[in-house]
Amino acid sequence: MAQRGALVVVEGLDRAGKSSQCELLRKSLEESGMPVKYIRFPDRTTAIGKMIDEYLRGQSQLDDHAIHLLFASNRWEVARSIEQDIARGYNVIVDRYSYSGAVYSAAKGNPNLSLEWAWLPEIGLPRPDLCLFLQISPDEAAKRGGFGGERYENQAMQTRVRELFHALFKVVRGGHDDVQIIDAGRSLDEVANDIRDAVRGCIERLDAIGPLRK
Ligand code: 2DT
Ligand code: MG
């Protein structure tokens, strides 16, 4: 059987360049003859994703816990297909994943929605072999243009999200080398080179990592 693919997650704040970098990574892997699939969360095309989209665009109101669980469900509904793609040898690049899920919900400041609570519905999902956190300073983010009109796209939320991403990565990093922080304040090419090297390193380590983890 062919070697399994790698599950690579790209995380970061808004305007860190996640989507551009995912596209560059996809191209670079494909050019080296490696099979690739790209997915992003939220996946707004499914029934659950449409509810998320309406919420984000301010067209519906939902309890903080309810929307949180919809975001998690939006991952669970494709968990099996991710596992199958990985088993068939595809390297799956994921634009936002459980980390955004836990952090954005906990950043709302609801006293009944802690980071710990927010993480629970993520347990059991396919675990990334590598998570690249694209780090960008508030100044650099501001230079890259104003906020869009969606929920969460405001300064207070972004500041809290930044703090919580760091808090979360401190926990998940313990004992693992599967989270790498990338300075995304540099040029597109510099960032892309670091990402490509990290992902190639991960693909080379797959034998040592063994089967896809939960
Ligand atoms: P995009 O701007 O990347 O479309 O994201 N979010 C995302 C959550 O609150 N929970 C999640 O589980 C995920 C994946 C981050 C839209 C917004 O949705 C937030 C920004
Ligand atoms: Mg956005």
For residue 133, being part of any structural domain is answered with yes
Atom index in ligand 1 nearest the CA of residue 105 equals: 9
Residues 6+ away with beta carbon under 8 Å from 41: 71, 74, 75, 94, 95, 96, 97, 100, 101
- E strands, the chain, are 7-12, 36-40, 91-95, 130-135, 179-183
- Across 131-149, average pLDDT: 86
CATH code, 40: 3.40.50.300
DSSP 103: H
Ligand 1 contacts CB of residue 56 (under 6 A): yes
- Across 70-85, average pLDDT: 98
In the chain, how many domains are there? 1
For residue 178, being part of any structural domain is answered with yes
Ligand 1 pocket test, pick from 68, 76, 100 with the greatest ligand atom count within 8 Å of Cβ, gives: 100
For residue 2, being part of any structural domain is answered with no
For residue 88, being part of any structural domain is answered with yes
For residue 214, being part of any structural domain is answered with no
Mean of all residue pLDDT scores within the chain: 94
Ligand 1 contacts CB of residue 100 (under 6 A): yes
For residue 160, being part of any structural domain is answered with yes
For residue 1, being part of any structural domain is answered with no
Ligand 1 contacts CB of residue 99 (under 6 A): no
Ligand 1 contacts CB of residue 96 (under 6 A): yes
Q: Which ligand is nearest to the CA of 44?
A: 1
Domain that holds residue 44: 7-209
Is the whole-model pTM more than 0.90?
yes
Q: Which ligand is nearest to the CA of 74?
A: 1
What pLDDT digit, counting tens, does each position of 172-206 carry? 654 456 899 999 999 999 999 999 999 999 999 99
Ligand 1 contacts CB of residue 74 (under 6 A): no
